[in-house]
Structure 1
């Protein structure tokens, strides 16, 4: 399977880089065009780009990526857009988790893996602007390959029309692949982004899939690309609409409390956080999703 998948791996990795470039450009444009309202007199934010590397088990090169983080902008208080393409062998804990979760035989005999993807989390200055998460990825082992990812909206002040627009845009991108996809991926997101110890969802949902493999790589890759393509048109119009609204101290307090909820989920439940730390990826890149400030009551 390794030789057969080399071209597909390259195509996937290249796409995640293209999507990253589009998002970084769009977010810097949001900074430049915010010229009235709260924070508009601040300097427009810009991404700081850091190369990340993953060391292999023997200390050699095992791939890496780019960590792009903007802090203290007009619109974004902190946003990270990371891409990575890494490879190596899974440790015993990761092997056991993979075998238990995915039922893949032979991991102990041949624990090689390859993974590539994009991961994004945005925390906003204005409490009326929702935080957001997006990621898409491809994972390969000698025994199986699959795709995963999605995007979900995390407002501290909820607007029903914003939630509806976010979901409608995602549905429009998924429907060409079959009308069953959106309701299935929406339900998957509702289940995945639920916080059991709080007995609530961390936001207003979105779409999500994991371990996705129909056996048709081209079709699955195109679905994954449309999940990524849906992100900017689903999210940016909401920010353009809300970034100029005034906020109160109470609004900011609500935002900080909601960020605490977001941090709890990412540190306790998120599979990507656990996998990244267990496989030795750059800890700063893995924990990029954490907000700059949060509050607990």
Structure 2
């Protein structure tokens, strides 16, 4: 008989792939509507220690580069990191993790870079994590209000305390101490979410993915026809450097992928195709 946890893992991974398909199809359709047929690269990768995933990269005239990665990995943590992961000591280092990660870098400097990831992890404990955040090159008050009002509405359907709690966690997390500045305009970020109701936590995680797509499509369509200059493009490339610095120095997802011997190309898919440092 299939264990309850096995059913949960299956449901979660099926959702991550469903969301991947929704996002990919929406982005490709947007490219066709406003530009031309984009280039889509797909790759399946296997992890020697157990599991693997699928990576999709989209290159176009609207999306300069979008990376979408779905993974399901399992095995055992090394002794050097076992104390860093909740419940790993009690599980003798054994773990299972599934998730989806999306990072989009846009051609237009007037459309923000976007990031969304959600995940489910099992050791001797179990929890959901993830979030949504946006990194504009130029601040836009209407975008800020729309993003945060939509996120609050989505969170309030599950718990009236979620939005303000997860917003603060996002602001604290996406901060570059060495620059003393935020990476962007925030969003929501949650980790170690286990309310005691697995299905409620799962439905919230699904809502996070759906809300990301709703918000991002709205923001893109709002700015897609606005003209931009080479000076704005130069500013965009420089600001992207902050994105790279955060992902290499502080991002937990990058670190988790590396310490679990994940696919390095999939882990680094979040990097922009072009960037400058001055």
Do the two structures share a fold, i.e. TM-score over 0.5? yes
Aligned to 2:150: 169
Which of 43, 48, 58 is 1:70 aligned to? 58
Aligned to 1:189: 170
Aligned to 2:161: 180
Aligned to 1:95: 82
Listed as ranges, the gaps of 5+ residues in structure 1 are: 35-39, 57-61
Residue 137 (structure 1) shift: 0.3
2:125 aligned with 1:135: no
Regions of 4+ moved over 6 Å: none
Are the counterparts in 2 of residues 85 and 117 from structure 1 also a CA contact under 8 Å?
Answer: yes
The within-5 A match list for 1:1-297 is: 3-34=3-34, 40=35, 43-56=36-49, 62-71=50-59, 73-98=60-85, 102=86, 104=87, 106-107=89-90, 110-141=92-123, 143-297=124-278
Per the alignment, in what secondary structure is the counterpart of residue 135 of structure 1? strand
Residue 253 (structure 1) shift: 1.0
Residue 105 (structure 1) shift: 6.6
Per the alignment, in what secondary structure is the counterpart of residue 69 of structure 1? strand
Residue 47 (structure 1) shift: 2.0
How many residues of Structure 1 are paired with residues of Structure 2 in the alignment? 277
Residue 116 (structure 1) shift: 0.4
TM, length-normalised to structure 1: 0.90
Per the alignment, in what secondary structure is the counterpart of residue 246 of structure 2? helix
Are the counterparts in 2 of residues 94 and 279 from structure 1 also a CA contact under 8 Å?
Answer: no
Per the alignment, in what secondary structure is the counterpart of residue 73 of structure 2? strand
Per the alignment, in what secondary structure is the counterpart of residue 14 of structure 2? helix
Residues of 2 paired with 1:270 and 1:205: CA distance? 15
Per the alignment, in what secondary structure is the counterpart of residue 177 of structure 1? coil
Are the counterparts in 1 of residues 65 and 104 from structure 2 also a CA contact under 8 Å?
Answer: yes
Are the counterparts in 2 of residues 50 and 67 from structure 1 also a CA contact under 8 Å?
Answer: yes
Residues of 2 paired with 1:4 and 1:15: CA distance? 17
Listed as ranges, the gaps of 5+ residues in structure 2 are: none
Residues of 2 paired with 1:164 and 1:29: CA distance? 26
Residues of 2 paired with 1:263 and 1:105: CA distance? 29
Residues of 1 paired with 2:89 and 2:73: CA distance? 21
Are the counterparts in 1 of residues 240 and 275 from structure 2 also a CA contact under 8 Å?
Answer: yes
